[in-house]
């Protein structure tokens, strides 16, 4: 059915909502309130006892090293005070053990996690994120004596060890390990660590810092915006029709892929939400709704853009050449390297460009 039927305009019926969409998570709202209160005071700090109360065990996690099961642990989901989004946290002790099994000497002193690589391993050089000393609620990750990440930490009871231990968000761990060639994948249940040559066509979460957009791109807002699909265009796959009197272009991205131009537009259609329009080589190839009524632009990678609402676990990967769409979260994670279910501070995959992820809705 078209979005415009019998002269009335309505949002096309969606598939069954993804987990977390359309419901209010009271616990999340409470946590967000705590975060906002802290920000209003001019600072925010997680105290160990508070962290343990706000964390939520989400089940058994399997750590796999070089293709073999290594250990079992519970990960937790809690708000990352750096990004103010929920993310997955893992006890450092189990990660220490996994790295030792891979031949990496490492130690944890309560403030700094120090990792030492063998002499024949190469370490990706990158500017130290901050020279300041970690606070009581933070930790540093050091590789061969160089701090490569500052991360939040929390103390909570380990259901397996029956004692309090330190947890760290997986995002910062994976960002650090990719520097020394350790491939990491995380699907919410299994965390795999490996080192070696990659099979042809394989893509993993460790690509977060190395898989950049293959084309060129410029963000356009304000008076310079122009519609990327023609008025009256009906997408044969989604059934949605673009009519300028209903859909108002609020943000565009233009550039080239494979030597040909593309244009990506986001359209405000209140109260129905945001729609996406796409043209490639001056021909419309897609017009449809995003994964949720309101969402963010998370990453440009390869020949695609990833949009989504991490708090709802809802994602969509759109190929910028042919308009093909991937909506299953596990496929998006596997194909495009999205390993952290949180909103980044800026759009990823664009070296040198720091565009905001929020669409001006």
Match 């002269």 to its residue by tokens: 7
- CA dist., res. 59 & res. 75, Å (int): 7
Q: Whole-prediction pTM value?
A: 0.47
Provide CB contacts within 8 A for 11, sequence distance 6+. Answer: 3, 269, 272, 273, 289
Cis? peptide before 271, omega within 30° of 0: yes
Digits of tens for pLDDT over the chain (361 positions)?
Answer: 444 433 344 444 444 333 333 333 333 333 333 333 333 333 333 333 334 444 455 667 889 998 888 888 888 888 889 888 888 899 999 999 999 988 899 999 999 999 998 877 766 655 555 557 889 999 999 999 888 888 999 998 887 667 889 999 988 898 888 888 888 888 778 888 987 543 333 333 333 333 567 778 899 988 889 999 999 999 999 999 999 999 999 999 999 988 899 999 999 998 899 999 999 999 999 999 999 999 999 989 888 999 998 877 788 999 999 999 988 877 787 666 655 556 787 888 887 678 999 998 7
- CA dist., res. 35 & res. 80, Å (int): 10
- CA dist., res. 340 & res. 329, Å (int): 11
Match 């990660």 to its residue by tokens: 95
């Amino acid at each position: 059915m078209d979005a415009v039927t019998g002269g009335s305009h309505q949002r096309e019926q969606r598939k069954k909502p993804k987990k977390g969409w359309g419901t209010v998570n009271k616990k999340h709202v409470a946590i967000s309130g705590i975060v906002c209160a802290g920000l209003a005071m001019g600072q925010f700090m997680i105290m160990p006892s508070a962290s343990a109360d706000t964390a939520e065990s989400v089940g058994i996690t399997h750590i796999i090293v070089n293709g073999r099961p290594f250990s079992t642990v519970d990960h937790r989901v809690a708000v990352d005070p750096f990004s103010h989004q929920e993310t997955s946290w893992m006890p450092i002790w189990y990660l220490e053990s996994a790295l030792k099994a891979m031949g990496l000497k490492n130690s944890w002193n309560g403030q700094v996690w120090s990792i030492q690589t063998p002499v024949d391993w190469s370490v990706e050089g990158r500017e130290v994120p901050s020279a300041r000393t970690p606070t009581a609620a933070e930790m540093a990750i050091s590789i061969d004596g160089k701090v490569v990440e500052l991360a939040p930490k929390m103390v909570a009871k380990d259901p397996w060890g029956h004692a309090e231990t330190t947890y760290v968000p997986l995002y910062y761990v994976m960002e650090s390990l990719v520097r020394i060639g350790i491939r990491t994948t995380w699907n919410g249940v299994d965390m795999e660590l490996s080192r070696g040559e990659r099979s042809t066509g394989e893509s993993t979460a460790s690509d977060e810092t190395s898989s950049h957009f293959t084309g060129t791109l410029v963000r356009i807002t304000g008076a310079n915006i122009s519609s990327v699909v023609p008025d009256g265009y009906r997408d044969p796959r989604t059934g949605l029709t673009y009519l300028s009197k209903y859909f108002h272009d609020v943000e565009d991205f233009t550039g080239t892929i494979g030597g040909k131009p593309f244009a990506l537009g986001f359209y405000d259609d209140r109260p129905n939400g945001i729609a996406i329009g796409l043209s490639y080589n001056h021909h419309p190839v897609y017009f449809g709704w995003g994964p949720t009524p309101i969402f963010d632009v998370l990453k440009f990678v390869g020949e695609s853009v990833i949009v989504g609402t991490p708090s709802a676990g809802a994602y969509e990967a759109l190929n910028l050449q042919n308009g093909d769409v991937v909506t299953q979260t596990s496929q998006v994670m596997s194909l495009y390297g999205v390993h952290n279910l949180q909103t980044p501070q800026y759009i990823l995959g664009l070296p040198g460009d720091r565009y905001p992820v929020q669409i001006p809705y």
